[in-house]
Structures are given as C-alpha cells and as structure tokens.
Amino acid sequence: MMTAFVIIGIIAAIVGASFVVTGIRRGPDAAPRNMVMLIGGMMLTAFGIVIAGFAIVYSNTAPLDLNAGAAQ
C-alpha cells in the first residue's frame, strides 16, 4: 500500500503544513512573503492529501469492467 505516490503525498502534506505554520507565526501582514507561504502551504498540503488519498484508493479497489454489465 505504501507506493511512491503515497510517500510523495505524505511528504508534500507535511512540508505544506510547515509552510502554513511558518506563515502564521510570522504574521501574514508583516511581509508579502508570509502571505505567499500561507497560500502555497495550503495548496501543497491539499495536493499531498489528494495524491496520497487517490493512491490509497486506487491500490485498494478492484478494476472496473464496464463491458460486463447488461445493455440498457
């Protein structure tokens, strides 16, 4: 279950969360760089969660055969 995509997703989520925490601690109004760290950190965290989630679901589901069903 621990494929490369899961590992990359977990690392991206951790790095993104650390960017968010750093941006919050420095204060988003202090410098534009801190606001960029907040936005980029949230995007990287969401990307990591989505990549890891899709990799886990893809590895745990059976292939879908659309030709096996009856014609409607």
Domain ranges of the chain: 4-59
- Residue 72 binned pLDDT confidence (cut-offs 50, 70, 90): low
Q: In sequence order, what are the residues at sequence separation of 6 or more whose Cβ sits closer than 8 angstroms to the Cβ of residue 13?
A: 44, 45, 48, 49, 52
Residue corresponding to tokens 């750093």: 22
Which whole-number Å values give the CA distances from 43 to 51, 53, 64, in the listed order? Answer: 12, 15, 31
pLDDT in tens, 9-51: 999 999 999 999 999 998 878 888 889 999 999 999 999 999 9
Q: What is the pLDDT of residue 40?
A: 95
Top pLDDT among 70 and 56 is at 56
